A = this chain, B = another copy of it.
Amino acid sequence: MAPAEPQYIRINARDNVAVVVNEGGLPAGTLFASGLELREDIPEAHKVALTHLAEGDAIVRYGEIIGIASRAITRGSWVHEGLMKLPEAPPLSSCPLATAPPPALAPLDGYAFQGYRNPDGTAGTRNILGISTTVQCVAPTVEHAVRRIRAEILPRYPHVDDVVAITHPYGCGVAIDAPGAIIPIRTLRNLALHPNFGGEVLVVSLGCEKLQPARLMAASELPILESEPSYAVLQNAQSGFGEIVANIMMLAEKKIARLNENRRVTCPASDLVVGLQCGGSDALSGVTANPAVGFAADLLVRAGATVMFSEVTEVRDAAHLLTARAATPEVARAFVREMAWYDDYLRQGGADRAANPTPGNKKGGLTNIVEKAMGSIAKAGSSALMAVAGPGERVTQKGLVFAATPASDFICGTLQLAASMNVHIFTTGRGTPYGLAMAPVIKVATNSGLARRWPDLIDIDAGRIATAEKTVEEVGWEIFLTVLDVASGKKKTWADHWGLHNDFALFNPGPVT
């Protein structure tokens, strides 16, 4: 239900702008209970000036400067992109290092889920055969085999959820010794070792590609491939396509038979590795969905889980806040290192962080990347930052972790999977039918209009916070409990219901050849 009364949300006492939350926006002349009167029409989720602003004044939201007024702005006016200049990004050299790590949150005991216990101690939320590939040449062949495995083999193994082919355009035709090549290679390696694959690894190789199986795996992991035949090389086939497919199916069935022995067991919530992401954000993201996810993140951290946030360009403008929150100076320095790497990466490509917001973000009231960043980091809750992982690295630490990834939904999702995410929470304001094959994705709407329009795509409506039907805490608990249910296989996400699974998208900063 939309509120009957005109309403805006101011996040921080220092803010001189607030966000209109009424569905459909509000017309000029609207009078708020505070006495503020709108000078012009303001769309839903867009900003209104709470005070008169002179040219050059700081525009403050979330208690932080999100822009500089490029001309005078009257109280009650619409504060939009045309009136704001982008401030400089916080200089990395002067970021405070672990100056204000929050004290440990009170432990939260007694929460568990039904998961699959893996030999390496991790826990899966699904029981899937993953088929890794070293090069795109083999992708259509593997997909052909997967269709046949689904039709001919899986029905005989009811405890196995699915077969997923990890296909990608990497592996050959790339500068495999270039400085950036480590990123896609370790991403593929860590995807192959994902906790939802139950410790079973199967790799399909062409034979002549640059990314040989022995290069895909680290030396310490090669025994996984070699202990029993765990990889197929197409070019070894002596009698054509039939043999190629039969060989992949034969290897797959051996592993499926073992996976079929797995059963869900009670796992503590600390076995969860929850990845957070937003996509198609609007100005309500930082008011409703992201703070509620932040509350859930704190609950997860209190329960001992790993919570990952990501998206470098969307935290860059909050770097000084996050380095201060780091548990140790080492963690803060690792964070600065990832920011600096990405600054350089963008500069080399002739871009900068301002390239991030989309036309849809702007329509949704997000004026620039600073405002987007301040809303984005609300997802990370309030706990200390315990660790930082590079793109594609596996995350093993508990607590709040920053996994450095691009903000692109599909690349971030792929890299969070590589980091060993077993549940994904995705907030969206504009709406996207996003999903992943390897781990369930819980979609949280920032506004009730979207949740109502897309009832069969959105899992949780955080828009009820804007309409004062629910509090941040209430929706936060709902998200936390939904994570446990989805992780247990008790509740199916809408993306899984429809089988909506985005392709893997690798981050390859190196050149192709």
Contacts and interface: CB of A to CB of B under 8 A. Distances in A.
Given A178-B350, A208-B363, A456 B241 contact: yes
A486 interface: no
B208 A409 contact: no
A169 B410 contact: yes
Contacts of A240: 453-457
A498 B212 CA distance: 26
Interface of A: 136-141, 144, 167, 169, 172-180, 206-210, 212, 234-235, 237-242, 244, 279-280, 313, 345-346, 348-351, 353, 355-356, 358-361, 363-364, 406-412, 430-435, 453-457, 494-495, 498-503, 505, 507, 509-513
A209 B313 contact: no
A449 to B, nearest CB: 10
Given A169-B505, A172-B408, A430-B235, A351 B137 contact: no
Given A240-B455, A505-B136, A513-B408, A500 B141 contact: yes
A137 B511 contact: no
Given A172-B408, A177-B355, A234-B431, 12 more contacts: A137-B279, A174-B408, A176-B355, A178-B350, A179-B349, A180-B349, A207-B431, A208-B430, A238-B453, A240-B456, A346-B513, A350-B510
A427 to B, nearest CB: 14
Contacts of A453: 237-240
A353 B175 CA distance: 9
7 contacts: A144-B499, A173-B411, A234-B432, A235-B360, A237-B454, A349-B509, A503-B503
Q: Name the residue among A169, A179, A238, A457 with the largest chain B CB count within 10 angstroms.
A: A169
Contacts of A140: 433, 435, 495, 499-502
Contacts of A238: 453
A234 to B, nearest CB: 7
A502 B435 contact: no
Contact of A359 (B209, B353, B360, B513): B209
Nearest to A362: B208
Contacts of A407: 173, 513
Contacts of A408: 169, 172-174, 512-513
Contacts of A454: 237, 240-241
Nearest to A501: B140
Nearest to A356: B513
Q: 5 closest pairs, A vs B, by CB?
A: A208-B360, A173-B408, A349-B511, A175-B351, A169-B505
A291 B222 CA distance: 41
A242 B140 CA distance: 29
Contact of A507 (B350, B355, B356, B512): B512
A361 B207 CA distance: 10
Contacts of A513: 313, 346, 351, 353, 355-356, 406-408
Contact of A409 (B173, B406, B500, B509): B173
Nearest to A212: B359
A136 B351 contact: no
